[in-house]
A = this chain, B = another copy of it.
Amino acid sequence: MGVRVGHLQVIVSIDSREGAERVGRALVEARLVACFQVIGPMSSIYRWKGEIEQAEEWLCLAKTTTERFDELRERLVVLHPYENPEIIATPIVAGHADYLQWISAETAPAVRS
């Protein structure tokens, strides 16, 4: 290609394990992420309308490419149950080459014949 594709770890929080797994399956199915990992529960502490709140959430870790991120983010905003969901991406700056190539291959849009 000539252009080096970057890879991202995308971090999302969702309020139930079942909801998180449902979102994950939809994103793998759509080839927007190569994998989607759900871990929890965790306690999330934040301010809401001036009060400190604490809620139970599940942490989701997904792998994708920089090329696919915009479409992933748009889809996640639709699939996610919150009004303003946590969707953040951290860069993958090194890794096992075969694994990075697997992320690229699994997120390449499917060619339809």
**Residues on A close to B: CB < 8 A?**
7-9, 11, 13, 17, 21, 24-25, 28-29, 34-47, 52, 54, 57, 59, 61, 63, 66, 69, 73, 76-77, 84-96, 98-100, 102, 106
Contacts and interface: CB of A to CB of B under 8 A. Distances in A.
B94 A73 contact: yes
Contact of A96 (B42, B52, B57, B87): B87
Nearest to A6: B93
Copies in the complex: 3
A37 B29 contact: no
Given A39-B59, A61-B59, A85 B96 contact: yes
Nearest to A36: B45
Nearest to A57: B37
Nearest to A54: B21
Contact of A37 (B38, B42, B76, B95): B42
A47 B28 contact: yes
Contacts of A93: 8, 89-91
